[in-house]
């Protein structure tokens, strides 16, 4: 029968089964591929995954990055008085190149493992971008929901901008901010702004009945108190929910822009490692991205339960 409930035990079992099926299918494809070509890296096996993991969590002292356009990554070979033999990987493949000492000045040297660099860079960009976006949307959305003139003034542009694919705006932010951290912040913040603002505006207007507002006035509330004590508190769970739903789009924007323009971060690493066919690294990063998303989702659920115990599940 439709909607027949199952026991919690069965539920758990089925959940575990589905994960096993995914892992099983992958292993089968991987084993078949390695039977054809033992050196294949496109569908890595367990051993390759271990290597991949070591690659991203350990860093040789001499592995360096070049800022240069065409160089992707490189490794010192030998050093003479005025030049350095440099094994590097370019778009065209591996080759050894001798570069002048002063060139090294431009080289960004880092011995922090990739994983930490990328987690730091990406989560910082995401956090700052989302924070700016949420604060902006919250202020504008609540103001629009509470004051008709603000709504009339701001709704047309907000509605219009929400129709422009946010990633297309990247070119504008590049011109305004250059290729820099603020560009990523702006892309994420302004990317989620129109949709989030509209959601908060709708909540402030529709979820707060006019009776609740009138009543607050009869209870002696000032204008600010109606907004702060009634409107905001009433819509808070919806705001948190809307923010949760915007984390996905924010991630898409950030990863896409990192793939295009960053020199550190999840998007950048995935693109580079994919080009090098280091799919073990790519897959680990993808799993981490999924994990990060789940973690943020859980955190926001917990936050909602903490701040709005009245809202229920």
Partner 1 sequence: MHKQLTALSVQSVCHWFGLNHVLNEVKFEVDAGQIVAVVGPSGCGKSTLLRAILGTHPPKSGKILADGKTVLGPSHHVGIVYQHYSLYDFMTARENVAFGLKLDRTSILFRTLNYPAWRAVRAEHLRVADELLEKVHLSEAANLYPSEMSGGMRQRVAIAQAMIMKPKILLLDEPFGALDEATREELQLMLLRLYEENLQAIENGQTAPYTILMVTHELNEALYVSDRILGLSQYHSQGVQGARIVYDRAAPVFGTLDGRDFAMFETQKDEIRRAVFDAEHNQHHAEYVTFWDDRTKK
What residues line the site for partner 1 (CB under 8 A)?
209-212, 214-222, 224-225, 228-230, 233-234, 236, 308-312
Burial class of residue 133 in the structure, from the number of CB atoms within 10 Å of its CB (0-12 exposed, 13-18 middle, 19+ buried): buried
| Nearer Cβ to partner 1 (93/309) | 309
| Nearer Cβ to partner 1 (55/233) | 233
Q: How far is the CB of 142 from partner 1 (least distance, A)?
A: 15
Contact between 60 and 110 (Cβ < 8 Å):
no
Q: How far is the CB of 223 from partner 1 (least distance, A)?
A: 11
- The DSSP annotation for 162-174 comes to TTS-GGGGHHHHH
| Nearer Cβ to partner 1 (234/280) | 234
Q: How far is the CB of 308 from partner 1 (least distance, A)?
A: 7
Q: How far is the CB of 29 from partner 1 (least distance, A)?
A: 50
| Nearer Cβ to partner 1 (180/222) | 222
Q: How far is the CB of 172 from partner 1 (least distance, A)?
A: 39
Cα gap 296→101, rounded to integer Å: 45
As beta bridge partners, residue 109 has: 64
| Nearer Cβ to partner 1 (98/222) | 222
Contact between 216 and 226 (Cβ < 8 Å):
yes
Residue with tokens 């694919």: 165
Upper half-sphere CA count for residue 248 (Cβ side, 13 Å) = 6
The alpha-helical segments, DSSP class H, found in 37-147 are 46-57, 101-105, 114-146
What are the tokens at 308?
A: 């709005």
């Amino acid at each position: 029968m439709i909607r027949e409930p199952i026991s919690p035990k069965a539920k758990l079992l089925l959940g575990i089964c589905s994960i096993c099926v995914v892992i099983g299918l992958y292993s089968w494809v991987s084993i078949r591929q390695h039977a054809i070509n033992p050196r294949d890296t496109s569908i890595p096996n367990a051993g390759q995954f271990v290597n991949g993991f070591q690659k991203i969590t350990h860093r040789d002292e001499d592995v360096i990055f070049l800022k240069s356009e065409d160089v992707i990554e490189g490794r010192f070979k030998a050093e003479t008085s005025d030049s350095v033999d440099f094994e590097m990987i370019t778009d065209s493949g591996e080759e050894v190149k001798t570069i002048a000492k002063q060139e090294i000045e431009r080289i960004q040297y880092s011995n922090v493992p990739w994983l930490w660099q990328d987690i730091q860079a990406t989560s910082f960009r995401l956090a700052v971008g989302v924070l700016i976006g949420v604060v902006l949307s919250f202020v504008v959305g609540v103001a629009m929901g509470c004051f008709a003139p603000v709504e009339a003034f701001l709704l047309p542009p907000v509605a219009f901008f929400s129709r422009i694919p946010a990633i297309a705006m990247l070119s504008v932010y590049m011109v305004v901010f250059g290729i820099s951290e603020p560009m990523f912040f702006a892309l994420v913040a302004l990317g989620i702004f129109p949709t989030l603002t509209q959601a908060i505006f709708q909540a402030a207007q529709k979820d707060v009945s006019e009776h609740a507002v009138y009543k607050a006035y009869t209870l002696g509330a000032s204008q600010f108190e109606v907004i702060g004590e009634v409107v905001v508190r009433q819509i808070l769970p919806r705001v948190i929910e809307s923010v949760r739903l915007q984390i996905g789009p924010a991630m898409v924007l950030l990863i896409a822009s990192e793939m295009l323009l960053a020199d550190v971060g999840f998007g950048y690493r995935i693109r580079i490692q994919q080009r090098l066919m280091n799919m073990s690294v790519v897959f680990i990063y993808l799993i981490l991205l999924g994990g990060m998303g789940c973690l943020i989702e859980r955190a926001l659920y917990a936050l909602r339960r903490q701040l709005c115990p009245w809202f229920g599940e």
